[in-house]
Amino acid sequence: MASHVLLIEDEPNIAEAIRFILSRDGWQVSTMTDGIGAAEAVRAARHDLVILDLMLPSCSGLEVLEAIRADPATEAVPVLMLTAKGQGRDREAAERAGVSRFMTKPFSNAEILASVRELVAR
């Protein structure tokens, strides 16, 4: 059974790119354009990985991460965080919140694919 990835990204083009890359590698990808309800979705669907954009329209990626980590049912789910801001401060905050990996946009396709494989295999 293919591993299930939840992609939360508000930029449709980027979401499409990531979805294409992962689907081609055999992953099952669900997408959300907003962080609202994301934690509940993870809890319900038992995703194997969450790819989370830091800057989301309604609530920030950090809040979503904290919600996932606060719930015992989802706290162990690996979270890959993406950001276009690329500031050290954001990385630190994400790490404090328990992020599994932090990546700065833009990234190469091989890079994100390797990261997803590594995080789910673990």
Partner 1 sequence: MPFNILVLSCLAYVAFLFLVAFLAERRAAMGRIGWLRSPMIYTLSLSIYCTAWTFYGAVGYAARSGLEFVTIYLGPTLVFVGWWLLLRKLVVIGRQQRVTSIADLISSRFGKSNLLGVVVTLLAVVAATPYIALQLQSVTLSFGVFASETPEGWALPDRDSTAIWVAGGLALFTILFGTRNLDAKEQHHGVVLAIAVEAVVKLVALLAVGIFVVWGLAGGPAEMIERIDASSIADWDLQPGRWAGLIFVSGAAVICLPRMFQVMIVEDGEERHMARASWAFPLYLLLMSLFIVPIAVMGLERMPAGSNPDMFMLTLPLAEGQGTLAMLAFLGGFSSATSMVIVESIALATMVSNHVVMPIWLKLRPKAAMSGDVRRIVILSRRLAIVAVLTLGYMYYRLSGGSAALAAIGLIAFVGVAQVLPVLIGGLYWRGATRMGAVAGLVTGFAVWAYTLYLPSFGPGAALSVAVFEQGLGGIGWLRPQALFGVEGMDPLLHALFWSMVLNTVAFCGVSLFTFPGPVERMQGAAFVNVFDAEASGPQGWARGRAEPEALLVMTQRILGKEAALAVFAAEARGQGKDGYLPDATPDFVAGLERRLAGSVGAATAHAMISQIVGRATVSVEDLMAVANETAQIMEYSAELESQREELTRTARQLREANEKLTQLSVQKDAFLSQISHELRTPMTSIRAFSEILTEGDLPPEMVANYGRIIHEEAIRLTRLLDDLLDLSVLENGSVQLNLSLANIQQLIDRALASAGHTRPERVFEIHRDLPSENLFVRTDADRLVQVFINLISNARKYCDAEAPELKITVRQRAGRVSVDFVDNGSGIPKQSQGIIFEKFARLTDQTRAGGAGLGLAICREVMANLGGTIGYLPGQGGAAFRVTLPLRLEQQAA
Site string for partner 1, 36-65 (x = CB under 8 A): -------------------x-x--------
Given candidates 2, 20, 40, 118, which one binds partner 1 under the rule CB under 8 A?
Answer: 20
Q: Does 118 bind partner 1 (CB under 8 A)?
A: no
Query: 16 or 92, CB closer to partner 1?
Result: 16
CB 30 within 8 A of CB 7: yes
C-alpha span between 94 and 51 (Å, rounded): 13
CB atoms within 10 A of CB 121: 8
Q: Does 114 bind partner 1 (CB under 8 A)?
A: no
Report which of 64, 12, 72, 9 is spatially closest to residue 36, judged by C-alpha positions: 64
Query: Could you give the 3-state DSSP secondary structure of residue 35?
Result: coil
| Binding residues for partner 1 (CB under 8 A) | 10-14, 16-18, 20-21, 33, 55, 57, 84-87, 104-109
